Amino acid sequence: MRFSTSLYQLRTGRHGATDLSPVCMDAALHFDTWVPNFGVQEFMPHSEEMLSVFPYDYRFERGMMHCGESPGHGVDIDEKLAAKYPYQRAYLPVNRLQHDGTLWSW
């Protein structure tokens, strides 16, 4: 049996936080414009450093996101500038119970 999300009135919700690059944001935006059960797209502006490394042409205006007109997903990368920002591994804070190491909500 094939299930359709429209039968259950389910809507999508895409993450668009600043810890993800404009590449992820634009891929999510393109998916949003295609998927028939689009619901909501989170959008948080990126830092100036991020925008200089990943120039893009999507836009946010009057409360709505709009895809750009560039080929592909419309996001480029300045590799020379990106080299100035070496990767630094980071972790989300996670609490562990002392006696057995079980993870729990932080």
d(CA 43, CA 83): 26
Q: pTM value? A: 0.71
State the average pLDDT for the chain.
83
pLDDT at 103: 64
How many domains is the chain partitioned into structurally?
Answer: 1
Range of the domain at 36: 5-104
Query: How far apart (Å, rounded) are the C-alpha atoms in residues 4 and 11?
Result: 11
Lowest mean pLDDT among 20-24, 60-64, 101-105: 101-105
Q: Residue 29: which CATH number?
A: 3.20.20.120
Instruction: Please report the pLDDT score of residue 5 as a whole number.
Output: 53
Which pLDDT tens digit goes with each residue over 2-45?
555 555 678 888 888 887 889 999 999 999 998 888 889 998 88
